[in-house]
A and B are shown apart, each in its own frame.
Chain A
Amino acid sequence: MRDEDIVDRLQLDVPATPSLLATIRLFVASAARTADLGEDTIGDLKLAVSEAASAIITSGHHGTLTVVVAIGPAGTSVEVSPLSSEDLTGDHLHPGDIVRALFPAATLDMDRSALVIPLASGSG
C-alpha cells in the first residue's frame, strides 16, 4: 500500500517474547475491527500474525517485534517484522504454509524483512 493511500496507520512495537503474543493478537484484532473487517477474517489474521510472531521469537530474535496495520480506502494491510524466509520454514508444520493457506496473497518483503498481508476492503 502506498503511503498516500493510508488513512490510519496503527503500529505496535513489543519485545519479542512469547508472553506478549496474546497482546499482539489483541492489537491486531482491535485494529482489524477499526478497519471493519469481518470476524472470520479477524480470526484468520490473529492466527497468521501469531504464526509469524512465533517464528520471529523461535528464530532467536531478541529485539523488538513490530506489527503495523495500515488502513486505506482500497483496503488494509498487516505487516509483521523482522522476518526472514528461514523463519517461516520449520519441521512438519511450516508457519509459512499456514499463513499462505490463510492469505494466499501474503508476501515476504525482503527489503523490509516484513511479512505483508494485503486485505481488500470489506474482507470477511
Chain B
Amino acid sequence: MDTRIGVSTMPGILGTRLASTMHAMTDLLKVDVATQGERTVISATGEIDLSTAPMLETLLDEMSGVDGMVLDLSGVTFIDSTGLRVILGADTKAGESGRGLAIVATDGPVMRLFELTGVDVRLSLFESVAAATTDA
C-alpha cells in the first residue's frame, strides 16, 4: 500500500490561525494535522480498518505530547474495532497525561460503532471542530 507522510509549513499563506500542517495518507485514509489557535486538530478522512489504523496510530503516538488535541472523525466513512482500539488508546494516553482528547463525530459509521460498543459515554465527543475547539 502506498503510504506518504509529509510536513509543510506555510505561515505566510494562512497566518497564525493555521501555522503549520502535517499530513499522512494511504489509498484509503488521509490524516491532516493543523493548528487552530491553541488547539491541534487531527482530521481523518476515509476508512479506518486493519490496513490503515497503524498509520493513524503512529501519527497519534507522535502527537501524544500535544496539549488540547482534537481528533476530527467527521470525514471517516468506515471504522471497525481495529480503528476503535487506536482511538481508545489515544484517549487513554491523553487522559493519563491530563491533556484530554476531544473527538468530533457526527451521525454515521463512527457514532454507530461508538454507540454499539458503549464507548460513546466514555469519550469526550463533539458535533463539530468549532464546538470542540471552543469547549474542549
Contact = CB atoms under 8 A, between A and B. Distances in A.
Interface stretch (A4-12, A66-74, A94-102, A107-115): A94-102
A50 B49 contact: yes
Interface in A43-85: 43-44, 46-47, 50-51, 54, 57-58
Interface of A: 18-19, 21-22, 25, 43-44, 46-47, 50-51, 54, 57-58, 93, 95, 98, 101-102
Contacts of B85: 93
A45 to B, nearest CB: 12
Interface residues of B, number: 17
Interface stretch (B15-23, B35-43, B76-84, B126-134): B76-84
Given A19-B51, A22-B47, A51 B80 contact: yes
Contact of B78 (A18, A25, A54): A25
Interface of B: 1, 28, 47, 49-51, 78, 80-82, 84-85, 109, 112-113, 116-117
B50 A58 contact: yes
17 contacts: A18-B49, A18-B51, A19-B1, A21-B50, A22-B49, A22-B51, A43-B112, A47-B78, A47-B80, A47-B109, A50-B80, A51-B80, A54-B49, A54-B50, A58-B50, A98-B117, A101-B117
B93 to A, nearest CB: 16
A54 to B, nearest CB: 5
Nearest to A57: B50
B94 to A, nearest CB: 18
Q: Report which residue of B28, B51, B112 has the largest number of chain A beta carbons within 10 angstroms of its beta carbon.
A: B51
A43 B76 CA distance: 13
Contacts of B81: 51, 54, 93, 95, 98
A39 B109 CA distance: 11
A101 B51 CA distance: 24
Contacts of A93: 81, 84-85, 117
B132 to A, nearest CB: 24
Closest 8 CB pairs of A and B: A18-B51, A18-B50, A93-B81, A54-B50, A50-B80, A21-B49, A19-B51, A19-B1
